[in-house]
Structure 1
Amino acid sequence: MPAANPVPRHRAYLILAGAAYRSQLQYRGNLLLTLAGGVAYQGVGLAFLWAVTSRFGELGGWSLAEIAFLYGMRVTAHGLLMVPTSQLHSLDLTIRTGEFDRYLVRPAGALTQLLCRQVHLPTLGDLATGLVVLTVAARQVGFEPTPTALLHLSLALVGGALVEGACQLALASFSFRMLSNLALRGLVDDIMNTFGGYPLKAFPDTARLALTYLVPVAFVAYLPAGVLLDRTEGLHVAPWLAYAAPLAGPVLYAAAYLLWRGQLRHYASSGT
């Protein structure tokens, strides 16, 4: 008999992710608590920004409403990434325990199976918080929801998620050689969380360059927010680069995926 056609990867992801979410939704009390935890975590960051701007009035020339808009974009992009890909942080564990061996002998892609192994529910709280903050801040700054502006905002959010995802996927791929580099990924994640919600104009030139070209924090939310708030003249990059910032996400993620595929060839089972 002819072999059955394999399930397309996007459909395999939807099937596995749907099963993972259905299993977690059986415990609704836990769902509410974890959502509250995600909201509280991101709320602390917003409260700190409010305290800073209340003390100094502005930060890098940005008002509280503008910073809240930037922060909302950053958290929304982070949520868009983490809801489907939070299990990437479990790669080191699956390698050490031998769980990753099973991914290589199944018809679904190894990365797809890794991302769907479980669901980390607090990431839904991140996404919800980001959307609420972004919506409220957009009204405060007078954001005009024209079709062009909404399209640019949507592309910027997806592009920002892909920029952060590219950094995490690229670093995770080296686990096939190093067995564990979770500390390095945690460092990059901390940099994104710590500086991603601030206008980079408030930092020294060296820091701005590092947060643009070394760790591309600026491309997640700062540069797109500058365009949407009509602040391109105050950015530290050429205006055309700020307008093209949403394109950085797909380009960087495609490069990170190629790196993942290349490093996967160096995987050696732990034997457990």
Structure 2
Amino acid sequence: MPRHRAYRLLVTAAFRAEFQYGGNLLLTLAGGVVAQSVGLVFLWTVTTRFGDLGGWPMAEIAFLYGMRLTSHGLLVVPTSQLHSLDLAIRTGEFDRYLVRPAGPLMQLLCRRVHLPTLGDLATGIVVLSLAAHHVGFEPTPTALLYLGLALVGGALVEGACQLAVASLSFRMLSNLALRGLIDDIMNTFGGYPLKAFPDTARLALTYLLPVAFVAYLPAGVLLDRADGLQITPWLAYGAPLAGPLLYAAAYLLWRAQLRHYSSSGT
């Protein structure tokens, strides 16, 4: 069976299982929307009290926040079960993935659908759409193409970081805390203009953990701020390419670390 068909069947089965409980679906979606809206309200409070952040007014920060949240939603809706890898290894569940006629990573990601992540994606799309109107974003074909590539690229950047760290579980057995730390950094700093931070922090969030490539650099290009990003302009314009390149490298690391998997025997 082709991989894309196997993935579609597994995801469909996971969604059907979750949609059996309509009330739970509505509550979890509402919870996801509220949780992600809190961050935007905090940014609005800060800019209302202290003014622009790094020269970015609230409308542009909302555009950046919407891009970051939409990319995050595009990632976590299909890959939220990556956080279950440690559990699958310890309980021996991962053994079954190795003997079935489908890729182990595909089976792990399709074991369940975490519905609150749909709230993340929905909130991101709404915030981005409203902010785009307020900043005067012109939806030209070129701008829309770049925006689409940037959103997918941003999702892949975050996904590459999570997949690379998760693959180390085959040696360390448990590194959920490290993955949680990366997620916290992405959520905490990804929605801010990095120009507001000290040089050391900005460099770390660009080259050490590539938070800037998720939304900050692409948003700067779309808002005609490429010259003020304090980075080489061509790197900002090429930011969407970072996602596929980093994810390909992370997947190769996953394949390499998978050889070190040792069954728990349970």
| TM-score grouping bracket, smaller chain normalisation | over 0.9
Give the SS at the match of 1:23: helix
Deviation at 1:22, TM superposition (A): 1.0
1:141 and 2:141 equivalent? Answer: no
Give the SS at the match of 2:113: coil
Equivalent positions of 1:75-114 (< 5 A) are 75-114=69-108
Which residue of structure 1 lines up, in the alignment, with residue 158 of structure 2? 164
Which residue of structure 1 lines up, in the alignment, with residue 146 of structure 2? 152
Residues in 1 aligned to 2:87 and 2:4: alpha-carbon distance in whole angstroms:
25
Residues in 2 aligned to 1:29 and 1:63: alpha-carbon distance in whole angstroms:
39
Which residue of structure 2 lines up, in the alignment, with residue 4 of structure 1? none
Deviation at 1:86, TM superposition (A): 0.2
Deviation at 1:146, TM superposition (A): 0.5
Give the SS at the match of 2:138: coil
Deviation at 1:8, TM superposition (A): 1.4
Give the SS at the match of 2:68: helix
1:10 and 2:20 equivalent? Answer: no
Deviation at 1:26, TM superposition (A): 1.2
Deviation at 1:233, TM superposition (A): 1.2
Which residue of structure 2 lines up, in the alignment, with residue 68 of structure 1? 62
Show CA shifts across 1:85-120 (max 9, x none).
Answer: 000000000000000000000001000000000110
Give the SS at the match of 1:230: coil
Residues in 1 aligned to 2:24 and 2:230: alpha-carbon distance in whole angstroms:
44
Which residue of structure 2 lines up, in the alignment, with residue 223 of structure 1? 217
After TM superposition, the structure 1 stretch with the greater mean CA deviation from structure 2, 10-19 or 78-87, is 10-19
Which residue of structure 2 lines up, in the alignment, with residue 3 of structure 1? none
Q: In the alignment, residue 59 of structure 1 is paired with which amino acid? A: L
Show CA shifts across 1:209-246 (max 9, x none).
Answer: 00000000000000000000000111021110000000
Which residue of structure 1 lines up, in the alignment, with residue 201 of structure 2? 207
| Aligned positions, number | 266
Which residue of structure 1 lines up, in the alignment, with residue 240 of structure 2? 246
Equivalent positions of 1:111-122 (< 5 A) are 111-122=105-116
Which residue of structure 2 lines up, in the alignment, with residue 56 of structure 1? 50
- Output the TM-score relative to the length of structure 1: 0.97
Q: In the alignment, residue 96 of structure 1 is paired with which amino acid? A: R
Deviation at 1:10, TM superposition (A): 1.6
1:185 and 2:185 equivalent? Answer: no
1:127 and 2:124 equivalent? Answer: no
Unaligned runs of 5+ in 1: 1-6
Q: In the alignment, residue 121 of structure 2 is paired with which amino acid? A: L
Aligned-residue CA RMSD in angstroms?
A: 0.4
Unaligned runs of 5+ in 2: none
Residues in 2 aligned to 1:166 and 1:75: alpha-carbon distance in whole angstroms:
16
**Displacement over 6 Å in runs of 4+:** none
Show CA shifts across 1:15-35 (max 9, x none).
Answer: 100100011111111010000
- Output the TM-score relative to the length of structure 2: 0.99
Show CA shifts across 1:117-167 (max 9, x none).
Answer: 011000000000000000000000000000100000000000000000000
